[in-house]
Structure 1
Amino acid sequence: MDTTPALATISTGRLQGEGRDGIRRFLGIPYAAAPFGPNRFREPQPVAPWDDVRAATAFGPTAPQLPYGGAIGELLGHVIIEGEDILTANVWTPEHSSGAPVVLWMHGGALERGAAALPGYDGAAFARDGIVFVSVNYRLGAEGFSVLDGVPRNLGLRDAAAALQWTHREISAFGGDPERITVMGESAGGALVAALLSRDDTRALISRAIIQSGPLDAQTPEKGGRVTAQIAKLLGTAPDRDAFAALSPETLLDARSRQSAGASPLGGAPGYQLVLDEETLPCSPREVLGGVNTPLIIGTNTDEYRLWFTPDALDRISTLKLLVARLALRIPGRAVRTFRADEPEATTGEIFGRIATDLLLRAPASRVAAARTAPTHVYEFGWHSPVRELRAAHAVELPFMFGTTEDPSWTSLIGGAPPASLAAEMHGAWTAFIRDGDPGWAAYGSERLTRLFDEESRTVPQRRTRGMDLLP
């Protein structure tokens, strides 16, 4: 397909991207310096300006990470691009745009996997609809979310804040309006959006926000640092900057792989999490977002847990295991009985999964929505993928929201014949919200109205609330 050069000038220098079919694309633009060498385990540093025109036609390197393993690895795509200049942004913009609305995308991956370069995250559909689309990478895993002596907390979140500041500062060069930035993320990316929205400094740069299946908690440094402490113990080293900086990223990834064997969302080895920090995250987002006035879309998928647990794993969950989890997480027995009564044909594993979905994602999102007076639109994605009994699992909504269901990289997750009408509807709703704040369905309010996205979408009072409302 023919392309033409596209030029832009930002504060650090000139860029040459490429144009095609009325869309200009600029890839691999550094928003912060490479976080290695003297910058490793430091807060994001400024980019050195360049003199010549910089090529912006290829994605930048991805953050150090391991591919997904097991069944999840068969479902989710993975991209590895070698190199150290990992703190980069990518921009899709309509040709000849000026003052266009902007969306900034934060990818998911449990804070230790993922990349903006995944083919399904292509921003062309948003650009065709008149929106300037920006996606970014940020530090992951040990590099971005270790809790180490002598190291600033939440480095990956600091990267996300730097990316937002870069977008606000530079986006007019790409035809975007810096006063109309919507920040959007899924899973761990949604957690980063919630964190940015919780802070006074970064919230001031956000006009709207979209949180898809995003955890809304931040842990104490002691709890959030358990993964770091265990990795340090495995490696026989101290949990501090000097010791970790002396280790290669590959060594830390190998240690994480050994430390995390057998982990699950409700048990096993601890993983990377956002931690409370006076400078970057003073309060847990779930405690703050109720009073934030920024318009918000927030929601979850009906069967989030079906990406986390294979069908065989669900079948192995016994009544005893459910009891142990209930006691460990201080879930009232009445809540479990209510879940069972609401879904009498569900297996014990499915009840366990439903509780995990609601405890980790759905209940916090619903409570935040109920506490807000600012415009808040809640959704539930309910379409059943035909793949591996996933149903409406975690991440299944992504190709529909992006409008990229025809991209073959999504086939392993949603099969070969997803409904085009659902993709058009969901992508259109997100586009409308980014453009003018109205996705096309009523706000949550006292009636708990929720948009259910399915083969035949509809706006209904939130479903299955009796058990959810009993969770801690």
Structure 2
Amino acid sequence: MSATAGPGGLFRQATTTSGEILGLVNESVIQFKGVPYGAPTGGKRRYQAPARPAPWRGVRECFGYGPICPQVPTSIANPYGRLIQFDMVAAEGGISEDCLNLNIWTCGLRDGRKRPVIVSIHGGAFSIASGNARIYDGARLAQSGDVVVVTLSHRLASFGYLNLLDLDGTSEIPVAANSGLADLVLGLQWVRENIENFGGDPERVVIWGQSGGGWKVSALLALPAARGLFSRAVVQSGSLTRFQERDAAAAVAAGFVATLGLAPRNLAKLRTLPWPVLLEAQTKVGAQAFMPFLDGEFITQHAFDPAAPAASANVPLIVSTTRDDAGLFFNDFALDEAGLMGLLRQQFGERANDIRALYREHEHAASPFLLRARIITDAGFRRFAYMQAERKAQQGAAPVYVYQWNWPSPAYEGKFGAAHAIDVAAGFGNARDAILGGGCEPGRSLSHALSSMLIHFASTGEPGPVAGVAWAPYASAQRNCLLIDDPVILAKDPDHEIRAFWERQPSPISVLG
């Protein structure tokens, strides 16, 4: 170890199961970025189960983010994408199939302390983004709560969820199903085996995901392979109850293979094609068509349907939404009442008038854009969240807590409302992010309240009070829900008429794209 790697220097050296790594120090936070937790996944390793990285000699410098899975960034013309900076997703680290890497922020290395560990699993459905995205920077969270923060990148879309099990000729290229989720399991195994070297406690690991990250956390809660790798979980705006059926995944795979001009007799070429060619075909098919499916071995049953999974029965859970989650799907900020009614009639038919009347009774001043966002949020995001919470509560083995973020983002003159992912920035303590108002009040205080809750939950398995407000578990009788606004309050079955209305409808609106 060099002099600068010792206490008080600019660098710190740590030991992993694959070799020594060197990280940078920023104030009290030691940062290791681009740490391999898995072997390369391209070429002959494409569509295979993840493997541990090969050991290296010497000290590996981990100063910058590693590559992310091949993907198409969010359009620079998309206001919401620019708000959360997903249009810059490949700005640091580059793009490569060699994407099984993670990032660590900690305030101590093997110093005799065992800090709670917060593992953030990124959003972007199952198709885009990475643990490198700026919204997931863990420095502030690690420093403010003296916790170890980890973010993961993994395989996405066709690189992680291509169902080749049911295509003739695949015996030439043995494949693994759902390798994107298998990557996350391997990453959590890496955390269990290595995190003590970074001052963390492998017995106190919380997995936390928002949007697509919430889907992944929901999936991990149901996976036997992930049992015991974490002790608490947080699902923000991403309550997944069912996986894709195997035949539907096979149809997507058939379309992908046909787009590449391949047939069952020459599927082995899937291992030799350059990844940009695969990405082009994936884009034509639709990246969001690729998602975890019931393969019968790695995934054997649905996540939270018809009941909460037994694999995570003893894991405390937090489930949440934001009031205006679905606004990420829309850009028609100038929508008027007539246009709103036209859209509601297209989607809901004869129920449109009743829906508008119900919402205008509760939302007198909301713009037509935000009213539409709240309607779709309640019909999809929120209905799935309540469904997940209900089934977890009915299981009766570990508590589930529910919150709804209602404070509107000041960004873009407030037109996104309580925007999708606003509570991600808050949870990380990144109050300077635009979505939280760039450091304004009460954005700073609400960010402090949510990140403090997350730290308490990671430490004890209970969220504790939030901004001084006691938070009781969710149960069918009370339906306790913490409303995060200025001020924070605990409500029993908030907006119960709206909740009950959507529960009477035949099926939720899918948020899986």
Given the two structures, how large is their TM-score scaled by the length of structure 1? 0.88
Task: Spell out the pairing of 1:183-194 with structure 2 (5 A cutoff).
Answer: 183-194=207-218
With over 3 angstroms needed to count, the CA separation of the structure-2 counterparts of 1:461 and 1:24, relative to structure 1, is same
Task: Spell out the pairing of 1:114-133 with structure 2 (5 A cutoff).
Answer: 114-128=129-143, 129-133=145-149
Q: Which moved more, 1:317-326 or 1:119-128?
A: 317-326
The match for 2:161 among 145, 148, 151 is 145
Structure 2: distance between partners of 1:435 and 1:341? 42
Task: Spell out the pairing of 1:60-459 with structure 2 (5 A cutoff).
Answer: 60-69=66-75, 70-71=77-78, 72-77=80-85, 78-80=88-90, 81-82=93-94, 83-95=96-108, 96=111, 98-128=113-143, 129-148=145-164, 149=167, 150=170, 151-216=175-240, 217-238=242-263, 242-260=268-286, 271-287=289-305, 288-289=307-308, 292-312=313-333, 319=341, 322-323=344-345, 325-326=347-348, 337-338=354-355, 340-344=357-361, 353-371=373-391, 372=393, 373=396, 374-388=398-412, 389-406=415-432, 410-411=433-434, 413-418=435-440, 419-439=443-463, 440=465, 441-445=471-475, 446-459=477-490
Structure 2: distance between partners of 1:12 and 1:257? 35
With over 3 angstroms needed to count, the CA separation of the structure-2 counterparts of 1:335 and 1:211, relative to structure 1, is farther
Tell me how many residue pairs correspond in the alignment.
Answer: 454
Structure 2: distance between partners of 1:350 and 1:127? 34
* Counterpart in the other structure of 2:501: 467
* Counterpart in the other structure of 1:264: none
Deviation at 1:286, TM superposition (A): 1.8
Structure 2: distance between partners of 1:74 and 1:177? 36
- After superposition, give the CA deviation of every residue in 1:219-249 in whole Å (9 maximum; x if it has no partner): 1022245544433333333488524334322
Deviation at 1:325, TM superposition (A): 3.6
Indicate if the aligned counterparts of 1:319 and 1:348 stay in contact, CA closer than 8 A.
no
Q: Which runs of 5+ in 1 are unaligned?
A: 261-268, 328-332
Deviation at 1:52, TM superposition (A): 0.9
With over 3 angstroms needed to count, the CA separation of the structure-2 counterparts of 1:424 and 1:244, relative to structure 1, is same
Structure 2: distance between partners of 1:335 and 1:323? 5
The match for 2:13 among 7, 16, 26 is 7
Q: Which moved more, 1:56-65 or 1:3-12?
A: 3-12
With over 3 angstroms needed to count, the CA separation of the structure-2 counterparts of 1:139 and 1:466, relative to structure 1, is same
Deviation at 1:36, TM superposition (A): 0.7
- After superposition, give the CA deviation of every residue in 1:408-460 in whole Å (9 maximum; x if it has no partner): xx32x444354211111111111111111221211112211111111211111
State the percentage of identical aligned residues: 32
Deviation at 1:314, TM superposition (A): 5.8
With over 3 angstroms needed to count, the CA separation of the structure-2 counterparts of 1:384 and 1:224, relative to structure 1, is farther
Structure 1 or 2, whichever has the larger Rg, is 2
SS at match of 1:168: helix
- After superposition, give the CA deviation of every residue in 1:325-360 in whole Å (9 maximum; x if it has no partner): 447xxxxx6698356424345788766544432343
Indicate if the aligned counterparts of 1:3 and 1:20 stay in contact, CA closer than 8 A.
no
Indicate if the aligned counterparts of 2:157 and 2:288 stay in contact, CA closer than 8 A.
no
Structure 1: distance between partners of 2:97 and 2:295? 27
- After superposition, give the CA deviation of every residue in 1:22-56 in whole Å (9 maximum; x if it has no partner): 22221111111011121111110121111211112
Q: Which runs of 5+ in 2 are unaligned?
A: 1-7, 466-470, 508-513
Partner amino acid for 1:469?
A: E
Deviation at 1:395, TM superposition (A): 1.3
SS at match of 2:279: helix
Partner amino acid for 1:458?
A: I
Partner amino acid for 1:390?
A: F
Indicate if the aligned counterparts of 1:104 and 1:184 stay in contact, CA closer than 8 A.
yes
Structure 1: distance between partners of 2:375 and 2:163? 29
Q: Which moved more, 1:343-352 or 1:453-462?
A: 343-352
Structure 2: distance between partners of 1:457 and 1:223? 43
Structure 1: distance between partners of 2:124 and 2:457? 25
Deviation at 1:206, TM superposition (A): 1.5
Structure 2: distance between partners of 1:364 and 1:392? 18
Deviation at 1:282, TM superposition (A): 1.6
Indicate if the aligned counterparts of 1:363 and 1:468 stay in contact, CA closer than 8 A.
yes
With over 3 angstroms needed to count, the CA separation of the structure-2 counterparts of 1:358 and 1:421, relative to structure 1, is same
Indicate if the aligned counterparts of 1:108 and 1:188 stay in contact, CA closer than 8 A.
yes
Indicate if the aligned counterparts of 2:13 and 2:23 stay in contact, CA closer than 8 A.
yes
